[in-house]
């Protein structure tokens, strides 16, 4: 099944403007810019300043933060943690922590099982691995 592509910044503002029954001229007046500039924003030919983006959010009743990330998709990667990297590093930290493995008496077969769990993603810390290990141990009566 094909994945649908997220709408672009321009598509979102055009669609919202139309939902509200506003013309480009009315939006331009509301954000204190020209009508052609609104058309350029909608077609993706121009990029809004922070001030314009804030005014657009107000005029169109959209969430300013979501609109910002839609207009600046690369910015999201800068402010949100790289989950894949965090998952990989949490497994490496856990695997290399010999003291933690000794304290919890983790056997090599348990380490193998936990390495498979690490592949599933979502384990973000050594504490998560210990919780999973204790849950499995409890389930199998160890």
Length of the chain: 142
What value does the mean pLDDT take over residues 86-100? 81
103-132 pLDDT tens trace: 999 999 999 888 888 877 667 778 888 888
Could you give phi then psi for residue 60, rounded to 5 degrees? -95, -5
Assess whether pLDDT exceeds 50 at residue 1. no
Judge contact between 60 and 16, C-beta under 8 A. yes
What is the reported pLDDT for 88?
A: 63
pTM above 0.75, yes or no: no
Residues 6 or more apart whose CB falls under 8 angstroms from that of 111 comprise 95, 101
8-61 pLDDT tens trace: 999 999 999 999 999 999 999 999 999 999 999 999 999 999 899 999 999 999
What is the reported pLDDT for 13?
A: 96
- The Cα 62–Cα 135 span in angstroms is 44
- The Cα 140–Cα 81 span in angstroms is 35
Encoding tokens for residue 61?
């009743």
Encoding tokens for residue 120?
């599933």
What is the reported pLDDT for 84?
A: 55
- Of the candidates 140, 131, 7, 141, the residue with the CA atom closest to the CA atom of residue 69: 7
């Amino acid at each position: 099944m094909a994945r649908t592509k997220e709408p672009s910044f321009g598509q979102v503002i055009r669609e919202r403007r139309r939902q509200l029954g506003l013309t480009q001229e009315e939006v331009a007046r509301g954000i204190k810019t020209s009508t052609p500039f609104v058309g350029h924003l909608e077609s993706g030919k121009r990029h809004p300043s922070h001030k314009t983006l804030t005014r657009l959010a107000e005029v169109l009743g959209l969430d300013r933060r979501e609109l910002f990330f839609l207009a600046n998709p690369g910015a999201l990667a800068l402010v949100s943690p790289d989950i894949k990297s965090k998952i990989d590093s949490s497994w490496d930290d856990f695997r290399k922590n010999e003291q933690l493995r000794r304290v919890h008496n983790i056997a090599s077969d348990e380490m193998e099982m936990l390495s498979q769990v690490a592949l599933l993603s979502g384990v973000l810390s050594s504490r998560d691995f210990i919780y999973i290990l204790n849950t499995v141990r409890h389930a199998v009566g160890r």
